[in-house]
Amino acid sequence: MVFIAILIGCVLGAIIGINAPVISYTYSSYLAIAIIAALDSVFGGISSVINKNFDLKIFISGFFGNAILAILLTILGQRLNVDIYLAAIVVFVWRMFMNLGTIRRYYVEKWSNKIKEKKIKKNS
Amino acid sequence: MTNKKLISIVLGVMCFALTVAICIQVRSVQNSTTVSQSYEESNLRAEVLRYQERYENILKDIEDLNDEINKQIDEATQENSNLEDAQSQIKEGNMIIGTTDVSGPGVIITLDDSTTDPTTVFNPNDLLLHDLDILSVVNELKNTGAEAISINDQRLVTTSSIQCGGAIININGQRVGAPFEIKAIGLPENLSNLERPGGYLDDLREKYQMQVKLEKSNNITIPRYSGVITFEHAKTVE
């Protein structure tokens, strides 16, 4: 159910994104960091669905809050001539890998349990 | 169950927004530049792109302001015959010096570099179009009575220069590269005489194997000169 929704969202997004107008180069660095933040939120959402502690409010506020904070940090970094966005990228990508690890462990365990059950059924 | 539905709808919408953003980002980065490994270089490249963008925005602003000025002038001179005369004189003058868009019958000449393999000729320079080629074609166009000429949308005015700039040609201080599209307004039958045997276009085509095309057209639009023409030193003799 969840994954069907995600798939539909992705396909629709790709179709519209390909036909959408191109943004100017000045803003593309902000959009890039916002994409990373949003990607992190989505993976976090999926892993919390798996852990059954998904909270809609936290998820939506995280999605927009993280993206906006990351953009603001990037702007601040450009003003100060420090690449703060690198720190944001490190944190987001690190968390993405953590969440991916959770998702992967859950499914590997699920499938290995299924295989075990089948073997037990065959033997009995 | 409703909770799960809600979750999947929200996640779907989020993924939708995310993929839209990713697609836009990928396309805009593809459009502007290749990703460079060197930090310094990519910074400089970004700077150049940013300035280019600003330049284009300012140019658009100037055009809007010019339109505004023209509208204001039209409004102000509507009910005064003296001013209307002056206005029509200004318009005529602007057409002569090339600061208004003009349209009319004429020819479109398309010139491109030769497709001959450069390893098979003695001097590969002969396969490329040079500033002097363009200059000669323009000269012949003027000789046959062209009233307005543009090269790749760069209007030729009295102060225009056609200069070699390495792999490109500088016209009006703007970089212009092959293929060249030279538009000229005038009597098409006269202008198409450029194709006569022994003419410069014929020379380019036969001697140097350049790709030359001359088309007559009844409706050619030539854009105005976007720069400013000022006279600082020249003064009218009383």
Residues A54-110 pLDDT 10s: 788 888 888 889 889 888 988 888 888 888 888 888 999 999 999 999 989 988 999
Interface list for chain A against chain B, based on CB atoms closer than 8 Å: 1-2, 4-6, 8-10, 12-14, 16-18, 20-26, 28-29, 31-32, 34-35, 38-39, 41-42, 45-46, 49, 54, 56, 59-60, 63
Q: What is the pTM of this model?
A: 0.53
Whole-number pLDDT of residue B151: 92
Q: Where would I find the beta strands (DSSP E) of chain B? A: 102-112, 148-151, 154-155, 162-165, 168-171, 174-176, 180-185, 211-222
Total number of domains in chain B: 1
CB-nearest partner of A14 from B23, B50, B53: B23
Asked if residue B163 belongs to a domain, the reply is yes
* Average pLDDT, rounded, for chain A: 86
Q: Does residue B217 fall inside a structural domain? A: yes
In a domain, A119, yes or no: yes
CB pair distance less than 8 Å for B19 and A13: yes
Q: Which of B13, B14, B30, B35 to mutate to test the interface with A (most CBs of A within 10 A)?
A: B14
On whether residue B12 sits in a domain, the answer given is no
Q: Is the preceding omega at residue B179 within 30 degrees of 0, hence cis?
A: yes
Instruction: Tell me, yes or no, whether A52 lies in a domain.
Output: yes
- pLDDT given for residue B68 in this prediction: 92
Residue of chain B minimizing CA distance to A26: B50
Domain with A97, as residue range(s), is 30-123
Residue B200 lies in a domain: yes
Q: Would A19 be classed as within a structural domain? A: no
Using only the alpha carbons of chain A, give its radius of gyration: 19
- B interface residues, A as partner, C-beta within 8 Å: 4-25, 27-29, 31-33, 46, 49-50, 53
Residue of B nearest to A9 (CA): B16
Dist. CA A83–CA A70, nearest whole Å: 12
In a domain, A2, yes or no: no
Chain B hits for A34, Cβ within 8 Å = 21
The whole domain housing B165 covers 101-222
B65 min Cα distance to partner chain A (Å): 23
Distance from C-alpha of A52 to C-alpha of A32, rounded to nearest angstrom:
30
Tell me, yes or no, whether B63 lies in a domain: no
Residues of B in contact with A78 (CB under 8 A): none
Cβ atoms of B170 and B134 within 8 Å: the answer is: no
Residues of B in contact with A16 (CB under 8 A): 16, 20, 23
Which of B4, B10, B53 comes nearest A59 by C-beta?
A: B10
Tokens of B213: 């095309």
- In angstroms, rounded to a whole number, what is the distance separating the alpha carbons of residues B210 and B214? 13
The C-alpha atoms of residue A62 and residue A66 are separated, in whole angstroms, by 5
| Closest Cβ–Cβ partner in B5, B16, B21 for A31 | B21
A15 is a domain residue: no
Q: Is B205 inside any structural domain?
A: yes
- Give SS3 for B230: coil
Residue B35: its pLDDT value, please? 54
Residue B184 sits in a domain of what CATH number? 3.30.70.1880
CB contact under 8 A, A10 and B10: no
In chain A, residues with a C-beta closer than 8 Å to the C-beta of B6 are: 56
Structural domain count of chain A: 1
The percentage of chain A sitting over the pLDDT mark of 70, rounded to a whole number, equals: 100
Tell if the CB–CB gap between B31 and A10 is shorter than 8 Å: no
B13: which chain A residues are within 8 Å (Cβ-Cβ)?
A: 9
Segment-wise mean pLDDT, segments of 10 residues, chain B, 238 residues: 75 85 82 61 83 89 88 81 82 86 92 85 84 91 92 90 88 86 92 88 87 90 85 88
